[in-house]
Amino acid sequence: MKNSFYFIFLAALITACADQPARIDTAVSQSFSAEWKYRAGTGGDARWEQRDLDDSAWTPVSGNQTLREQQQSTENGFGWYRKTIVLSDSLQAAIRAAEAAVIHLGKFAAAEVIYLNGEPVGKTGGFPDNYMGYHGEERRYLVPAHRFDLPGENRIAIRFHDGWTVGGFLDDTDLRIASATTRDKLSLTVAVSDSDYLFMRPCPIELRVALANGNRWPVSGSLIVDLTTDDRRPVRRDSLSLSIKPQQRIERTFTLDRPAPGFYRYSIAFVENGETACGKQLTVGYEPEEIVSPPDNQADLKDFWENSLAQLKKVAPHYKLTPLPGYSASNYRMYRVDMRSFGNERISGYYAQPKKAGKHPVIVEYMGYGSAPYLPSQTDDGFAHFILSIRGQGLNQPANRFGTWITYGLDDKANYYYRGAFCDVVRAIDFVCSRPEIDAERIAVSGGSQGGALSFVAAALDRRVKAAAPTIPFLSDYPDYFNIAPWPGSDFTQYLQQHPEARREDIYTLLSYFDIKNLAPWITCPLLMGIGVQDDVCPPHTNFAAYNQVQSEKRWMAFPEYGHSVGEEFYRESRIFFQKALGIE
């Protein structure tokens, strides 16, 4: 009887093992050539993602170089890649067995949608008018097997937007497709209990982590949650052992009660056999208006800027307006403006003049660091618009003599690049005030990144500015900035290596004259600031370092999942803000 029971049990065990699908830990992969077809533009109604589109007239390019290196440009930041591939027999079989594959693009800029055989299969970032910041990380997209034409030809199309004009592929990486493994089918998502990721007392920071197993076999490992300050000082580590059944989703909640005011980095990973299977990183904030980044200005800061502006006044502007009829809309006349600024430097901009008679309010916009020139808005919003290119940048870049700008003239504050550039900001206000169609009592300023910093500068140095709406402001809180973000601190490290006579302490002293947190207390107009909480270019800590020094009426808007950008909601709100601040009905 005992032997009979044993054999029955053994037969049941063998049957159960036979029903259990084999775990897949090894991928079959195939690399493809770096050759692509390229075309600038949005695609629009042409639907360039279509499988049977004739792309024979598109430009051949390589994925091993940026578009800029290949003398290719985008159209207002937009472009498309297309490619046809055929999968090997071994890869086809592996994809069938795994029921999915992973498309590896390598590093790519900056936001894109990837299509396979005319259908979207992956997306990173967001396009204008809801641009979600710069993304330059590795791209990998899990795609179900049924999306492939396994025995036939497969068309891959990529629609992308890159406002930084680098364009598309960033690294020497060929397209690779691999069959999915166990870890590819694990996914980790995080829900933050505060909608904008910025927590206020008495609420603790609270995250809910969800781990899903898309495999047909169980997976065991550890969920590890590492928490650091934004400058990567350890705060806390949590580790949980988990076993996840096939097709199961489990959740765990993590809290941190009453941390010090500031921003915190979470690194969350599911670790299996000592290796990270999936993970996510994100930044959250706690009581950002209580972040302490006190001014570090020198005693002569006010005198320095009063003297600089006095020298600017001695320079005759010699405004020159060149009509651009081909770029003018029905309600505006478009002009290129050239003028002289501090040191007799020529600077330029684009001016959209309303055709409607009368005095008009104006929005002066300042551009991001190294941004390509772009035209002002010509929507009939009641405002005139002027976009300034500061010295050596934008429209002035063909004649740039200031190198990489931010490290130019570090030997003396009188020669530093941003002394002249900040004066250019004021000269832009001089220009719009010179125009008979502009109401000089209704001037607003805006801009993002460097343009956000310059909006702070304009409001601090010029009382003619009556409202400011900066986003993701640059040039703030340098000592902390260099500890938090990799750039621009890396440029200064390189400068110190090339100039052994220079001392970091002296550079910090010089930069204090150009740190917007030291100028912010001079602002008297209302201010609306927008930030991207995941911004690692101009981190939110540095945004609030300047904002917290503003003594006038102010408020902020945070966009929790955005990097170096803000959402369209900010721009809608800024128009309402300007109308109210300038008394426009």
Q: Which residues are catalytic?
A: 449, 535, 564
Q: Report residue 131 as tokens.
A: 């641009």
Strand 234-244 to strand 168-169: parallel, antiparallel, or no bridges (unpaired)? unpaired
Query: How many separate helices (H) and strands (E) can be counted in the chain?
Result: 11, 28
Other CB atoms within a 10 A radius of the CB of residue 553 amount to 13
Distance, CA of 16 to CA of 547 (rounded, Å): 64
What does residue 396 show for φ and ψ, rounded to 5 degrees?
-90, -5
Name the maximum alpha-carbon separation found in the chain.
110
DSSP conformation class of 185: G
What does the alpha-carbon distance between residue 356 and residue 363 come to, in Å, rounded to a whole number? 16
Give dist(CA 15, CA 18) in Å, integer: 5
Nearest Cα to Cα of residue 492 among 559, 572, 406: 406
Distance of CA 410 to the CA centre of its chain: 28
Hey, how many other C-beta atoms are within 10 angstroms of the C-beta on 370? 17
* Residues whose CB is less than 8 angstroms from the CB of residue 513 and which lie 6 or more positions away in sequence, other chains included: 297, 298, 301, 304, 305, 413, 416, 419
**Inter-helix orientation angle 504-511/489-498, to 10°:** 130
What distance lies between CA 272 and its chain's CA centroid? Answer: 32
